Amino acid sequence: MVIHIIEEMEINVDTLSHKKGGNMKIKDNNVISYIIIIFGAGLAAFAIDTLLLPNTILDGGINGISIIISKLSGISLSLLVLVLNIPVLLLGYKKIGKEFLIKSIYAMIIFAILLKIFDIVNPITNEMLLATCFGGAILGFGVGIVVKFGGCLDGTETISILLSKKTNLSVGQIILLFNLIIYSIAGFVFGIDRALYSILTYFISYKLIDLIIIGFDQTKEALIITDRGEDLAKEIFNKLGRTTTTMKGEGLISGKKNIIYCVLTRMEIYELKKIVTNMDETAFITISDVSEIIGKHIKSNNQPIEKEEE
């Protein structure tokens, strides 16, 4: 009896230590992500202040609008970035999640501060092609880092997510249309050559972001192999508004498992990994690109369930 009690105590202590260790790891990773976001925001600010802005080459999205207004009015770009972006993020708060919102506002504040700091740095080059290529590459690298670690530097994607839920257009299509409008305005105001250089910058930065975070706006599919299938499925639906399909599986060594299949957006991957890690540290996750979706899938808690998934 005494031995049995001692064994139970040891198990409980080990379990408690494991949980504390897991929580410490999550907290440590969270702190590191905030530090790395500073680096990513710094690269983006450096690219804009020293390469793009001096040559009137525009970024896309709301930051592109900020650059146009700043150029025409003389208002500080760092101030415009905050004033135009943060309200958009707050508007989409329920759709993007609390942590993403906090990290994005944090990233934008750092980005705005660094835009002000790098404003005193002399332009690196006046060669348009060099400014376009290297500016786009550095900008894309910086934005990709910020997004990979759970934040963003532009609220355009938030608007696109909100609009995609009310239209048949995807997030990527809305972003592309939004940017084409911005570059058309840039061509009218600053000249067609500046618009063309800006479009080239956009595609270069887009590809860099794509390389860093593995898919800029593509739909993703996640396969999760876990012992807590039902609990995870409920948590994914509650936190992300995504329904899941649960299947039974059996590992050669691990035995019987639940396999969860879920379709989601790139912006939700970070939150999904956090949910799974918090609930089942032994879970195995694979995430892949989805080239096409045929039929309806659930996109949010506000939408009716068209079909029961098992």
Confidence at residue 214, expressed as pLDDT on a 0 to 100 scale: 56
Residue pLDDT, tens place only, 153-198: 888 877 777 777 777 776 667 888 888 899 999 889 899 999 999 9
Please choose, from the candidates 61, 98, 101, the residue with its C-alpha nearest in 3D space to the C-alpha of residue 81: 61
Range in 14-18, 37-41, 121-125, 281-285 with the lowest mean pLDDT = 14-18
Does pLDDT of 81 surpass 70? yes
Helices within 74-191 (DSSP H only) = 77-91, 93-96, 98-118, 128-148, 156-164, 171-190
Q: Between these two residues, 229 and 136, which has the higher pLDDT value? A: 136
Tell which of 213, 244, 265 closes a domain. Answer: 213
Instruction: Give just the sign of the alpha carbon dihedral 102, 34, 203, 269.
Output: negative
Does pLDDT of 300 surpass 70? no
Q: Is residue 31 part of a domain?
A: yes
Please indicate, yes or no, whether residues 108 and 250 belong to a single structural domain of this protein: no
Confidence at residue 59, expressed as pLDDT on a 0 to 100 scale: 86
Q: Is residue 229 part of a domain?
A: yes
Q: Is residue 12 part of a domain?
A: no
Q: Is residue 309 part of a domain?
A: no
Please indicate, yes or no, whether residues 209 and 77 belong to a single structural domain of this protein: yes
CB 256 within 8 A of CB 208: no
**Burial zone of 121 (CB within 10 Å; 0-12 exposed, 13-18 middle, 19+ buried):** exposed
Tokens of 50: 């020293």
Q: How many domains does the chain have?
A: 2
Please choose, from the candidates 244, 237, 249, the residue with its C-alpha nearest in 3D space to the C-alpha of residue 284: 249
CB 112 within 8 A of CB 85: no
**CA 252, CA 281: separation in Å to the nearest integer?**
19
Q: Is residue 96 part of a domain?
A: yes
Instruction: Give just the sign of the alpha carbon dihedral 158, 160, 163, 167.
Output: negative
Q: Is residue 305 part of a domain?
A: no
Please indicate, yes or no, whether residues 44 and 127 belong to a single structural domain of this protein: yes
Confidence at residue 291, expressed as pLDDT on a 0 to 100 scale: 64
Confidence at residue 257, expressed as pLDDT on a 0 to 100 scale: 87
**CA 223, CA 206: separation in Å to the nearest integer?**
26
Residue pLDDT, tens place only, 8-43: 433 343 443 444 455 555 555 678 889 999 999 999
Confidence at residue 25, expressed as pLDDT on a 0 to 100 scale: 53
Please indicate, yes or no, whether residues 143 and 244 belong to a single structural domain of this protein: no
Can you point out the beta strands (E) in the chain? 220-226, 245-251, 255-264, 284-289
Please indicate, yes or no, whether residues 83 and 187 belong to a single structural domain of this protein: yes
Please indicate, yes or no, whether residues 182 and 233 belong to a single structural domain of this protein: no
Q: What's the mean pLDDT in 104-114?
A: 92
Q: CA 27: distance to chain centroid?
A: 19
Does pLDDT of 292 surpass 90? no
Give, in degrees to the nearest 5, the angle at Cα 62 between 59 and 63. 40
Average pLDDT of the residues of the chain: 79
Please indicate, yes or no, whether residues 136 and 230 belong to a single structural domain of this protein: no
Tell which of 162, 187, 213 closes a domain. Answer: 213
Does pLDDT of 104 surpass 90? no
Radius of gyration of the chain measured on its C-alpha atoms: 23
Please indicate, yes or no, whether residues 199 and 261 belong to a single structural domain of this protein: no
Q: Is residue 235 part of a domain?
A: yes
Tell which of 171, 191, 213 closes a domain. Answer: 213
| CATH code, domain carrying 235 | 3.30.70.120
Please indicate, yes or no, whether residues 39 and 111 belong to a single structural domain of this protein: yes
Please indicate, yes or no, whether residues 30 and 101 belong to a single structural domain of this protein: yes
Please indicate, yes or no, whether residues 56 and 201 belong to a single structural domain of this protein: yes
**0.85 cut: is pTM over it?**
no
Range in 8-17, 20-29, 72-81, 138-147 with the lowest mean pLDDT = 8-17
Q: Is residue 138 part of a domain?
A: yes
Residue pLDDT, tens place only, 184-241: 998 898 999 999 999 999 888 888 877 776 544 467 888 899 888 888 888 888 888 8
Please indicate, yes or no, whether residues 203 and 274 belong to a single structural domain of this protein: no
Domain that holds residue 111: 26-213
Q: Which residue has the tokens 């989409």?
A: 92
